Amino acid sequence: MQNLKDYLHVAPEVQAALDAGKPVVALESTIISHGMPYPKNVETALHVEEIIREHGATPATIAIIRGKMTVGCTREEIEYLGRRGLDVPKASRRDLPVLLARGEDGATTVTTTMIAASLAGVRVFATGGIGGVHRGAETTMDISADLEELAMTPVLVVCAGCKSILDIGLTLEYLETKGVPVLGYQTSEMPAFYTTHSGFQVDYRMDSPEDVARAFKAKLDCDLKGGMLLTNPIPQQYAMDLDYINENIDAALKECEALGIRGKKITPFLLDKIQKLTGGKSLEANIQLVYNNVAVGAEVAKALCALNR
């Protein structure tokens, strides 16, 4: 990786924390440019960083800025991404080499955030929810690249499960096939993004950040390929009724199909449509679950650093 410096920029604060063996938590940027409107997106991103700092870790918001994977965006860069919004391309693994070569910007998905974090030496990443196997994938073959990345890249991802718009059962089957451990944080049931319940079981329940850190350290020490998924339920006071959210998802899916929306445009369309159908309740739930995930992510990162001292 002799020429990696041409494509990767690690912010001085993040690099200093890594060099000192201090906890760092990676954050994605798709949630800024594609997840919510301006200025709510910037306010949320900055507050997420504040929460991580309050928990004793260093935040590293990741994006592609002018052809460089930037691990630790500045306040100005976050503002830039938020203002440009949907004009910033959503960058997955397939897009990465072209955007880097052209010197363009890109909002990192779970996949590309994991890639950049791993290259920089950041081992913990907190987000809202991962992508997965879409409903009807047995005919469309629509499966998120996030799952393949989890099978390859040694980063622990903290999330509120896979997004409710997906086929949760098939997503878990796919992760099992790829050998990705799916853990539940203080729960034995896979959370479903907006709700705490899905009806599916996780592989293992973990009751503390230290439990999670020990399991992930063992994976790293044994050089076992791929990452690990820690699913953290949305706080109960912000959770939505399962039947209510499923009714709105079904309505959004029907409209999506009628409009012929395909590929990577499906998820942002569905999330936006569900937000409108729920009168903004789903957006507020989304924000709160992210706040919850980054707090847990910071605690896990601290526990992992303590084990490595």
Both 309 and 242 in a single domain?
yes
Co-location of 159 and 295 in the same domain: yes
CB 85 within 8 A of CB 33: yes
**Same domain as 157, residue 276:** yes
Instruction: Return the pLDDT at 258.
Output: 84
Per-residue pLDDT tens over the stretch 43-80: 999 999 999 999 999 999 999 999 999 999 999 999 99
106 is written with which tokens? 């890109």
Q: Is the peptide bond before 39 cis (omega within 30 degrees of 0)?
A: yes
The span from the CA of 276 to the CA of 271, in Å, is 9
Same domain? 157 vs 279? yes
97 & 218 share domain: no
Domain edge (last residue) among 77, 96, 122: 122
Round the average pLDDT of the chain to a whole number and report it: 92
Tens digits of residue pLDDT in 238-280: 998 877 877 877 787 788 778 887 766 776 777 777 778 777 7
Cβ burial of 93 (10 Å; 0-12, 13-18, 19+) is middle
Domain end residue (candidates: 94, 122, 150): 122
Domain co-membership, 109 together with 257: no
* Same domain (yes/no): 172, 51: no
Q: Taking the complete model, does pTM exceed 0.85, yes or no?
A: yes
Alpha carbon distances (Å) from 52 to 48, 133, 300, 307: 7, 30, 11, 19
- Same-domain check for residues 282 and 209: yes
Last residue of some domain: 107, 122, 137?
Answer: 122
Tell me what pLDDT residue 250 has. Answer: 78
Q: How many CB atoms lie within 10 A of CB 278?
A: 17
The three-class DSSP label of residue 221 is helix
Write the CA distances from 161 to 104, 184, 191, 260, integer angstroms: 31, 9, 5, 27
**DSSP collapsed to 3 states, 166-217:** ECHHHHHHHHHHCCCCEEEECCCECCECCECCCCCECCEEECCHHHHHHHHH
73 and 180 in a common domain: no
Beta bridge partners of 230: 158, 183
For residue 77, the enclosing domain spans: 1-122
d(CA 234, CA 124): 19
Among residues 286, 294, 82, 100, the alpha carbon closest in space to that of 193 is found at: 286
Contact between 53 and 59 (Cβ < 8 Å): yes
Same domain as 109, residue 150: no
- Give yes or no: 173 in active site: no
Residues 138, 111, single domain; the answer is no
| Tally of domains within the chain | 2
CATH of the domain at 113: 3.40.1790.10
CB contact at 8 A, 71 and 117: yes
Q: Which of 68, 90, 163, 273 is catalytic?
A: 163
Catalytic residue of the set 28, 77, 79, 149: 28
Catalytic residue flag (residue 28): yes
Identify whether residues 193 and 303 lie together within a single domain: yes
